[in-house]
Structure 1
Amino acid sequence: MSGSTVAKESHVDVLIIGAGPAGVMCANALIQAGVNVRIVDKRPEGLKAGQADGCQPRSLEIMHSYGSSLTDKMFRRGEHLHKSTFYNPGPNGGIENDEHWSGKRSDLTLAIWSEFCIITLHQGAIEDIFLEAMAEKGLTVERSTIPTAIEILRDPQRLQDPGEHIAKMTLKNLESDDVEVVHTKFLLGSDGAHSWVRKMLSIHMEGDNTG
């Protein structure tokens, strides 16, 4: 971009950085609620395999609350896990059954019982289900796009205004080098364990990082 080029500017209610499972699930919920939302991701395309491989019953319950089409696709495309057994070395040199779980209600406490079983399906396929639902509502991920700068309003009075666009984000497309300034009311950082958003806002990550 030349020095004389003026960056495009736009306004949005919610800007989501990162199109992993958390980002696309949030984007799908917001677009379904009629919120003006955009979602960007640095990757040129979605995952094809790996990283994570399933959904717990509670996650499926949340997905189902957005409509049965999401969970219907999960059950059609994934494998159903109704029972599992774990083994550890035994005291006499053999192995022993360490833990048992099944989908039978009699085997589960009321606190964890669900109408859904565990579904094993790789992360890319799970993301695809959300992407398909988003596309039906006219929302797609803006790929090969990264944030390069962020400015947050500091005026306490303006921050109290629900209509104020409190964050000014600079986005860059890695393929075209186009730059855009986006003014957003809410910013969601779902850009992973090494989050650029969290780093820029000096937010400490709680918990362990396995990546």
Structure 2
Amino acid sequence: MNTAKLVALGAAFAIAVTNGYWWRRLRTVESGLETSHEWDQRAVTNDADRDVVDSRQMSLLNRAAEKADTTPEDLPETVEMLDEKRRELRTNVKKLRTEWVSSYWEALTRSSIETDRPHVVTIDLGRSTYDDARAFANHAQDADREVVVAVARSDDTFAVGVSEDLTERFGVSADDIATTIATEEDGNAGGTAAFAGGSVPDADRLCDRVDGYCPDLHSQPAG
């Protein structure tokens, strides 16, 4: 499996982990919302027992609030926030699924990379963030002769990673590449020879031009 396919699969795994966290957290407090609602209904419909709170219901409410890291009084608002986050994630999942399919098919049709030679991998991460771009760029430091330039469209950021071998033997610097990108795209960048990151006004435009800012490594010897 070539690097491009691994990139596509890695993006899908990161999406699954992120969404799984929010789904689990929402389920821990949904029961609290129901309890809070029942509690309010008791207070409204039963004037005689308005000041009497069933101890069992109160216990459930407190436990739900504890799991949600909030107070019983703020539990409905917290659950509402999490429910909104769930709806937002559903929308994002649909978009990301479409983008992942496109990236996967692009990876399948892309020519294989000769990993025994110095090479550049440019990655369009779609509607991802800088954290995702940084994770992909950091991968270059575990490779022998790899430059990774990852672009995240969600927050208009990018990250560059360069393997130690390329830095020491050929003088390739992540900071130099990032600075070139930032200068040409009216953005900002900074970092070290091994890793650098930055932001640009328009990541969509950068994705169309990023290959032009990468070093030409094809002439570098394999040995």
TM-score norm. by structure 1 comes to 0.25
Which of the pair is proportionally richer in strand? 1
Structure with greater helix percent: 2
**Higher Cα Rg, which structure:** 2
